[in-house]
Every structure is written in C-alpha cells, then in structure tokens.
Structure 1
Amino acid sequence: MLTKKNSFSILAIGAVVASSLVLFINSTKKQESALPPARPNIIFIFSDDHTAQAISAYGSKLTKTPNIDRIAKEGAILHTNVVTNSICGPSRATLLTGKYSHLNGYKLNEKVFDVNQPVFPEELQKNGYQTAWVGKMHLGSLPNGFDYLNVLPGQGHYYNPDFINSKNETVRYPGYVTNVVTKLSIDWLNQRDTSKPFFLVVGHKATHREWLPDAPDLGAYDNVNFPLPPTFYDDYTGREAAKDQDMTIDKTMRLKEDLKVHADYEKSGIFNRFTPEQKKPFYDYYENKISKEFDAKKLTGKALVEWKYQRYIKDYLSTARSLDRNIGELLDHLDKSGLAKNTVVIYASDQGFYMGEHGWFDKRFIYEESLKTPFVIRYPGVIKPGTQINELISNIDWAPTLLNLTGTTIPRGVQGESFLPLLTGKKVAWRKEAYYHYYEYPQPHHVYPHFGIRTDRYTLARFYEVKDFWELYDLKNDPQEMHNLYGSKGYEAITADLKAKLKKEIIHYKDDEALKIMESKL
C-alpha cells in the first residue's frame, strides 16, 4: 500500500531524477555546441591558362561554360583574383606554399621545386586529412604532403599521356588527357579511406598551348566568326616592354605546331602519340579541311593574322569545352555519391591568358588579362549562393583560406590571408594593394622582368634588368591599359603615393631584390 511518506519519497526521487536529466541534457547540448562542425572535404580543380575571358560566369561572349558557372551560381565568384607571378609553375608553387616566388624559390618555369620546404597539405595531414593530387603539377619534383600522387611529367601530353605516381613510376594511360584526369580523380575518390576527410587537387592540362581538342569537340566553333578584340592591332605607343615582347598571334604563333596546318604526325612529339583510331578524326579535320582551306586562301598581311586569330580562338575554346564537360562529370559524381553536401568545390586557373587582346596570346605581364585569374568556390550551407567578391584576392591567399576552411592551423610563414570571412559575408578590413613580381627573361616570350602593385584603380609597374622604366595605368579611365601615364602632368602626387605603397608592400613581403632596385635612382 502506498503511504504518504512513500509517496513523498518517490516524488522527491522523481524530482532528483528529472533535475539530473535536465542537467544531463543541458550538458550534452553544451558539448554538442562546443564540437567543431564536420570538417569539409575539398576538391580544388586547377586548370592551365584558362582565362576569365573564356568563362561565361565572368561575362564571356565567346562561349558557354555551364559547369564552371554552376559552381559560381551555387557559391561565390571572385572578380578580382590576381596572381603574384603570372606563369604556370610558379603559380603552383605559390598555391602550395602561400608564399611569393622569391621565398619559395620557384621564380621560373621548368625548374625543380624545393621539396624540403613546408607546404600546406602537410598541415591538412596533421589535421587528419587524406591528400591527393591528380593530373598536371608542373613543379619538376614530387612535393611532400600528399598521400597519393599521380601527375603528368612536365607539361604532359594531350593524347595517351604519361603519369608519374607516388612510387616515381611512369605509367601511360590511353585516351584524352582531360578525360583521363577526371577518371583517375573519380577512381581515387571511390578507393580512398572513407574514414578521413580529403583534399584533392584535380590538375588539368587544358587549356595549355598547343590546344589539342578532344575528338568530339573538333570544329565545335567552325560556324562562329569571333570579333577581333578592340586592342588587337595595338601599336604599343608609349609602352616599351609591350612593344618588345615575342608573344603575338602575328609573329610568334606557329602555323604547324599551334594551328595544326600540315602538322607533322610522324616526328613531332605533339602529334605522334595518336593511335590510328585517334589520328583519323584529327587528321581528317586539320589536314583534309583546315590545311586545305589555308592553302586555297593564300593569305597574307592582315588577312593572314586574322585567320590565325580565328583558328587560335576556335582551338582554345574547343579544348576548354572538354574541360567544362569534365567538371560537370565530376560534379555529377559528387551528387550521386552523396559527397556534394560536405565538399568544398573550387575551380581556378594558374593565371590569366590573352585571347588576342593587344594582338597576344600567353600571359606574364602585370596587365589585367594576364594578372587576373578565375576563381569560383562552392560550400553548401556556408557560402551563400550567388556571392560576389570584388576585393583584391591574391593566390598567396588560397592556401590559408583552405586551411581556415578545414579548421587547420595556418603556419606563421604563410604570407597570404584567409578570405573565408569575405566568403561568408563578414565585413572585414582587407588589402587595398596586391603586389606582383615576374622574372623569366629572355625565353620563351621576351617579357622584361618587372614588379609592381595593382590597386582598385591603378597599376604601377617597374621594369628592370633589360631596361629600367616605369609604367602607370588608370584602370577606371583606361581599362585596356593603352596609355602609360607615368611622367604625365597632373599624376605626380598619385605616382608618389603609389611608389610609397609599392615600397611598403616590397618590405612587407620581404622582397630584398625588388627593394634594392626600387631604391636605385631612375
């Protein structure tokens, strides 16, 4: 029989249990709130020489890139993402180290990257990440920090490419390089250690010279007549370095190797890797159609230059067509595998590229088409779809941002800053100037060494070694950088201010070589 005393005891016990339960629930909630969010996976799709002028998310009228655009639409697009040294290998070295070329030691292409220096994937490994790089790396060595490597040696080949793996073994894979890189990347995703978050670089050879399209994309733009850029016939008045370069479509671009007019399919290392089945559509298109058309026209002067321009743009965009298609295939795999929800996807190129502006192809200069590079990023639930970033972001910022995204400590030696706050809509103080330094001379394109800064309105550059001179451009009034204002009346105060800012940047980034030149009289 339940007595009053027993009833009171049971009620008291119940109250204690209820109170304990509340304390337990509250304690659990506190523990849950203190736990870090799930560490995201990261896929960094990194192409070669693919410029913003050829991406429709950036307003290109030349072509459509629906899959790159999809990343931008579902995340953020960086409109003023610049590089520190506009050339392939050094850009990759900057990605890995978060440092300028003068500190990571990789100033020029075709050198050997120092593998004894720290790279940010090592920090990811310490934080429990599995890391991999598939495709083009172009560093002349195999850096530390990767659990899996399967990379192209040097520039690699478009057809039936060789790959070097983590064991330093060379293996040839049949097929078109863009498709092969995607397949190997998806294979790694399917075979990885699923107990760990991952960081994967998908390194594409496209759209590097000599722009060999995949067979389905041959002639994709043959019915299009692309308008000449307004600066195509630039005469370089007042711009000595621009006048003395060797990167014009007119004089530098080669008919046989670059434009495939009567290409050598037997001896040339560019074209002799085809299987008979691969060679047939390629030969039919370039030899039986394009070369015959060229012979029949007997072009000279401006007609020849403009024909070369059309062929260049069509081959470039046809090569990029496969690149975008493969990005779509990778995005579809993430959707089907369930990885998309917690995977950061980035698409970027190693630098900008000229699409006939100033009559050029290639890159190297501090000028806009070369300096700026595309960067779009998607992170579901963290980056609001449709985010537009206009601040000056540099490729030294990529490494610390990736570390920040994953909750990984950023080493003190990294020179860049995380722009994650900008991606998530926070109002933060950000750089007003971006520093640049290019070194490679005279080969292959005879571009004078120079350093300088890009602000929201101006570009100031100091050319040195070959000839010493300055250039100044007002990007608001002269976005195509046709008028060198250095020394012009009325720009004395602006020039002095920019020089002071440049010197401050040089000292901040510890570029002793540039400082010595900066302090020399001119």
Structure 2
Amino acid sequence: MVDQRPNILYIMSDDHASHAMSCYGSRINETPNIDRIAQGGMRFDNCFCTNSICTPSRATILTGTYNHVNNVTTLASKMDGRLLTFPKLLQKHGYQTAIIGKWHLGHGGIHDPTGFDYWIVLPGQGLYHDPLMIEMGAEKVIKGYATDLITDYSLDWLRQRDTSKPFCLLCHHKAPHRPWEPDERHATMYEDVDIPEPATFNDDYSNRARAAAEARMRIDRDLRPSDLKRPVPPGLGPQEDKKWKYQRYIKDYLRCVASIDDNVGRMLDYLDQEGLTENTIVIYTSDQGFFLGDHGWYDKRFMYEESLRMPFIVRYPREIRPGSISKDIILNVDFPPTFLDYAGIDVPDEMQGRSFRPLLNGELPEGWQTTMYYRYWMHLAHHNVYAHYGVRTLRYKLIYYYADALGQPGAIDDPREPEWELFDLDSDPSELCSVYDDPAYADVVRELKEELGRLQAQVGDEPYEKEC
C-alpha cells in the first residue's frame, strides 16, 4: 500500500536575500522558476532567522531549538549528531530521507549527518567548481559546477527512491555564498547593464550605535581581490571605485542566483513529469538574508532587516491557496514542527518552535507570535560585528550590543562598550536613525525591554549580566 502522506522537498540556498527574488519584488533580477513556487503557494514576508549566520541557522532548522539550546552558536561550533532532529523523526516514522549539498555542521565522529538514508555533502563551505564531496563518509572529487551537481544528485536519488513511501529531501545549495563564482552558462549575464544601487548604498552610519560604523563588510573597503576577480581600474575616484566594486560583486552574486533558479526549475519539472506535484510540499528558502550593497555592505550577521529576513515560499496544492501572502511572523525554529505536523507526527516538547500550518491555510491561531527573539554570538570574528541580541515586533526593533565574546567558540575576546538601538520600522524602514534616546519613545523602550526579557525567559536564554 502506498503511504499517502505528503512528500517534502526542501530547497535551501546560502545567503540568498529575499530582495534578490522577483516574487519578492526584486529591482535587480528575475527568478522565474523560484517564482513558480510562490505563484503556486504562499510567500511569507516576515520569516526571520534567530541568528543570521550559516552554521547556527542550519542547526536551528534541523533541531527546532535556539542556539543556546543546541550549542551551535557560531561558525566555529559543530552540531552533535545525537541531537533530535526532524529528519530523524521522519525517518523513524516511515519517510525516506536524504540531504544533498551543503551541510556546514562539522564532519567526523558525531558531526556527520544523521537521520538520513542517504547523504552526500560538501565539506565545510565547499567549492563551486569540481568540488570535493563526502558521500556516506567517503570523499570524492566530482567534476562540474556545484549547483548543477547538487541538483543532479538530488534528481538521481528521487529516481531511485521507494515509490511506496513518502520522501523528505533536503537539497542544500552552497550558492550564492562568497566568493560568488558563476558557472560558464551565466558568466556574461548582466555584462551590458548596470545593476541599480540600493537606496542606502551611501549610508554614513550616523545616528546609530558604533557597531554599524565598526563593521568590516563595506563594498568600498573590505572586498578581497578574489571577490572582485580582476584589478580595480586605475584612476577611479572614491565613489567611482565603490560603484565599480559593487557592480563586480552584485553581478557575480546574481549570476549564482540565476543558476540556482535554473536548477529549481529542473526539480519542479521532475515533480510535474512524475505526477508528484499535487502531493509534494515544496519549500524554497535561504539560511538567512544578506546585504546586497544595502548600507554599503555585503555579508549578514546584524539584526538589520536585510540580514534578519529569510525568503520563505512554500507550495502544496492540496492545502495552500495559490498566490497567497502572509505577513505574520514565522521563524526558522518553527520549520521542524511544521514539517512534522504535515507528516502526522507529534512535535516533541523539546522543540521550541510552533507549526505554522494554520497560517498556510489562511488561519491565524490564537496567541500566534507577534514578536521574535534574535541573538548573534560571534563577537568581532571575520567582519568585526559586535555580539548582540534583540526583539523585533511588527513595528519596532530593539537591539542591545552587549559586545562581549563570553567564551563562545571563534568569538574574539575584546569587549566593547555596550549600546542600544531602537528603530521605528513604520517611519524608518531602512533603519537609518535610532530613536532609542528620543523621549517620545521612552514608553516603547520600556515595553520592548520587558518583552525582550519575557522572550529570553520563554526560550531559556539569559540576559547579559552587565545589561545597562
């Protein structure tokens, strides 16, 4: 007898910001195949990560727990393969499971993927071209382009699966992560056009905490030669130099995105051809957001919108109304309970998220979250971003830069003076001017600090002991 529970195809890229997807209104590119998912299902406009950096976000997505619980707080952390994850539960309850592509949670001993019938992953960040991959513990170099190869292996696994059982396939692309190396097919895409610069491209970092000015992720100053891939033309003035570097960066980034989009189309076409579309939940997301020249930056880590927001679109013809949009808050910690809900599996008490299946059906559950808690732990490492935590509501964002490593793996033990920021996202959606010290917002500050404390207690995290 064929198990009628829905299949789950979870496609996740790395550092793909929602404002580089046409279904989210991108001004700079088109993603027609990714858009097919949004057109056939629901787009979430307020999907947020709880820690905007690759390894911790991936651990949260698998375990349904915050990073202080799963102990994967920084890029230098490794996930303990003995932790309970949603693939383990799906596997236990009759699903075929596989992960193909980027893992980035450690290797060897207790750190290789667990809960999967099949896995083939990149070691660490992995290479774009002719990557080394680890297949069920065995290393091999595979000729080709990573995005194509990850899709090839995903399709091969789907063709060989047991068709009497439902499947859960995690197809994890490494693109469009730095250093943004496109494939030959897209190498000259955008060659004859200038990509528009974002409105905050020339941000001067005034009217905020020192953290923004201290960060080392500026387009004009911090890109490496390997990012730009050719020398800067001589004789450029400072602004022309910045503009040139932005075009080099953003075009390669978007070329990598175009390859993902093509390969998403291959996956969707396979589902159509095999008659699997109706009973397959298809998700496209990224592990966090990314700065695409916004605030003059690349990278992520900050609690600012472009970094905090994850794209999340999902299609399931049996339940989700085509072309629908949700502005309710969902978090990466909510993904596992939602997948388990669709599979008819009880959500373990240790998972800290909540199923948003009702939202996908157009229903708002009683007591649904209207605030969220965020914490970035990796103080000063790589891009000099201060450790911070905060709360976001539908209108406001309060951020506390406690700026202390606290002994976290890979964080730099060089404390800085703590500071607060408050943004009114209605009047200042670009987060250019903190109103934390504005007397008109005194009551908002007080209420948000109370809510921050409530959320920390709810998730079991502790405030910084010297919080001012």
TM-score by length of 2: 0.94
Specify the SS of the correspondent of 1:377: strand
Give matches, 1:231-380, under 5 Å. Answer: 231-239=200-208, 240-254=210-224, 256-261=225-230, 294-295=232-233, 297-380=234-317
- What is the distance in 2 between the residues matched to 1:114 and 1:83? 21
1:506 aligns with 2:443: no
Q: How many angstroms does 1:516 deviate by?
A: 4.3
Q: Which of 406, 413, 422 pairs up with 2:359? A: 422
1:445 aligns with 2:383: yes
- What is the distance in 2 between the residues matched to 1:298 and 1:398? 50
Partner of 1:277: none
Give matches, 1:24-173, under 5 Å. Answer: 38-140=4-106, 141-166=111-136, 168-173=137-142
- What is the distance in 2 between the residues matched to 1:331 and 1:250? 39
1:497 aligns with 2:447: yes
Q: Output the amino acid matched with 2:340.
A: L
- What is the distance in 1 between the residues matched to 2:67 and 2:417? 22
Is the CA contact 1:123–1:409 (under 8 Å) kept in the aligned structure 2?
Answer: no
Deviations 1:351-390 (A, max 9, x none): 0000101100000000100000100000012111111110
Specify the SS of the correspondent of 1:461: strand
Gaps of 5+ in 1: 1-35, 262-290
- What is the distance in 2 between the residues matched to 1:476 and 1:424? 28
Q: Output the amino acid matched with 1:436.
A: Y
Larger Cα Rg: Structure 1 or Structure 2? Answer: 1
Is the CA contact 1:115–1:142 (under 8 Å) kept in the aligned structure 2?
Answer: yes
Is the CA contact 2:81–2:114 (under 8 Å) kept in the aligned structure 1?
Answer: yes
Specify the SS of the correspondent of 2:99: strand
- What is the distance in 2 between the residues matched to 1:502 and 1:358? 26
- What is the distance in 1 between the residues matched to 2:276 and 2:318? 14
Specify the SS of the correspondent of 1:491: helix
Partner of 1:188: 157
Q: 1:521 to 1:453 in 2, by over 3 A?
A: closer
- What is the distance in 1 between the residues matched to 2:319 and 2:15? 29
Specify the SS of the correspondent of 2:333: helix
Deviations 1:132-174 (A, max 9, x none): 00001111121321111100100010000111122x1001111
Deviations 1:391-439 (A, max 9, x none): 0111000110011111111111000000000101123221010100001
Partner of 1:17: none
Q: Which of 322, 330, 336 pairs up with 1:385? A: 322
Q: How many angstroms does 1:37 deviate by?
A: 8.8
Is the CA contact 1:110–1:139 (under 8 Å) kept in the aligned structure 2?
Answer: no
- What is the distance in 2 between the residues matched to 1:298 and 1:321? 32
Q: How many angstroms does 1:195 deviate by?
A: 2.1
Q: Which of 187, 192, 197 pairs up with 1:223? A: 192
- What is the distance in 2 between the residues matched to 1:237 and 1:317? 30
Q: Output the amino acid matched with 2:400.
A: R
Runs of 4+ in 1 over 4 A off after TM superposition: none
1:461 aligns with 2:390: no
Specify the SS of the correspondent of 1:308: helix
Q: How many angstroms does 1:477 deviate by?
A: 0.1
Q: Output the amino acid matched with 1:377.
A: V
Specify the SS of the correspondent of 2:227: coil
Q: 1:516 to 1:441 in 2, by over 3 A?
A: closer
Is the CA contact 2:28–2:196 (under 8 Å) kept in the aligned structure 1?
Answer: no
Is the CA contact 2:3–2:165 (under 8 Å) kept in the aligned structure 1?
Answer: no
Q: Output the amino acid matched with 1:153.
A: P
Is the CA contact 1:110–1:154 (under 8 Å) kept in the aligned structure 2?
Answer: no
Q: 1:469 to 1:128 in 2, by over 3 A?
A: same
Partner of 1:401: 338
- What is the distance in 1 between the residues matched to 2:116 and 2:248? 39
Q: Output the amino acid matched with 1:67.
A: N
Q: How many angstroms does 1:521 deviate by?
A: 5.0
Q: Output the amino acid matched with 2:344.
A: G
Gaps of 5+ in 2: 405-415
Q: Which of 150, 166, 178 pairs up with 2:147? A: 178
Is the CA contact 1:219–1:314 (under 8 Å) kept in the aligned structure 2?
Answer: no
User: What is the identity percentage for the equivalent residue pairs of Structure 1 and Structure 2?
Assistant: 47
Q: Output the amino acid matched with 1:162.
A: L
Partner of 1:264: none
Q: Which of 424, 427, 440 pairs up with 1:477? A: 427
Partner of 1:271: none
Specify the SS of the correspondent of 1:498: helix
- What is the distance in 2 between the residues matched to 1:126 and 1:215? 42
- What is the distance in 2 between the residues matched to 1:66 and 1:387? 17
Is the CA contact 2:105–2:124 (under 8 Å) kept in the aligned structure 1?
Answer: yes
Specify the SS of the correspondent of 1:307: helix
Q: How many angstroms does 1:494 deviate by?
A: 0.7
Specify the SS of the correspondent of 2:152: helix
Q: Output the amino acid matched with 1:509.
A: V
Specify the SS of the correspondent of 2:228: coil
Q: How many angstroms does 1:38 deviate by?
A: 2.1
Q: Output the amino acid matched with 1:158.
A: Y
Q: How many angstroms does 1:248 deviate by?
A: 0.5
- What is the distance in 2 between the residues matched to 1:353 and 1:132? 27
> Higher helix fraction: Structure 1 or Structure 2?
1
Partner of 1:487: 437
- What is the distance in 1 between the residues matched to 2:149 and 2:335? 26
